């Protein structure tokens, strides 16, 4: 082989090694990024504990939403408004949820995550965290109260200053 052919071969080998090396560095980073966006139940519970005010986007099929609705969720479509703050996406599969998370435009004031395990995982985490959160207020929705003698009396016990509410039946 001539000297110019040796240099060409050396250049090609060097270029191939660079491309392979760069690929080996990038591929794990992409999979780590996907894992950071897909939260298991423990990670989900930790995020909700830190920031309980969040938005849940329900991207499941219409049938799944009808059969098993998720309280306080927003039905997802491409035009659905996505709030700032903490946002979770539940879909029929983890892959579909990740795809939706990646499609939501980045915003400095927004963190968007896919829920691993879908609606079942969301419900399990909600049932566990709901017992840990003490209510700080009570709201009676408009038009739900009847006139007349109440069947229950709402009494906040202020002597212990715990903030917990006690419901006592009126007819003792």
Supply the pTM of this predicted model. Answer: 0.58
Q: Is the pLDDT of residue 166 over 90?
A: no
pLDDT per position as a tens digit, 57-103: 999 999 999 999 999 999 999 999 999 999 999 999 999 999 999 99
The answer to the question of residue 70 being in a domain is: yes
Would you state the pLDDT for residue 30?
40
Would you state the pLDDT for residue 39?
97
Mean pLDDT over each residue of the chain, to the nearest integer: 77
Whether residues 85 and 53 fall in one domain:
yes
Q: How confident is the model at residue 164 (pLDDT cuts 50, 70, 90)?
A: very low
The answer to the question of residue 146 being in a domain is: no
Whether residues 17 and 78 fall in one domain:
no
Residues 105-117 have a mean pLDDT of: 91
Domain that holds residue 62: 39-130
The CATH number linked to 81 is 3.40.250.10
Would you state the pLDDT for residue 64?
95
Per residue, what are the HEC states of the chain?
CCHHHHHHHHHHHHHHHHHHHHHHHHHHHHHHHHHHHEECHHHHHHHHHHCCCEEEEECCCHHHHHHCCCCCEEECCCCCCCCCEEEEEECCCHHHHHHHHHHCCCCCCEEEEEECCHHHHHHHHHHHHHCCCCCCCCCCCCCCCCCCCCCEEEEECCCCCCCCEEEEECCC
């Amino acid at each position: 082989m001539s000297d110019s052919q040796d240099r060409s071969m050396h250049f090609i080998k060097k270029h191939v090694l660079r491309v392979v090396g760069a690929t080996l560095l990038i591929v794990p980073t992409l999979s780590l990024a996907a894992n950071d966006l897909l939260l298991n139940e423990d990670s989900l519970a930790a995020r909700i504990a830190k920031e309980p005010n969040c938005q849940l986007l329900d991207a499941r099929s219409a049938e799944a939403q009808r059969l098993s609705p998720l309280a306080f969720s927003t039905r997802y479509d491409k035009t659905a408004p996505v709030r700032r703050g903490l946002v979770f996406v539940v879909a029929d599969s983890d892959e579909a949820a990740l795809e939706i998370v990646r499609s939501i435009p980045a915003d400095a004031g927004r963190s968007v995550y896919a829920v691993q395990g879908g609606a079942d995982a969301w419900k399990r985490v909600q049932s566990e965290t709901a017992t840990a959160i003490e209510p700080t207020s009570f709201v009676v929705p408009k038009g739900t109260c009847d006139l007349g003698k109440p069947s229950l009396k709402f009494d906040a016990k202020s002597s212990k200053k715990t903030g917990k509410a006690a419901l006592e039946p009126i007819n003792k």
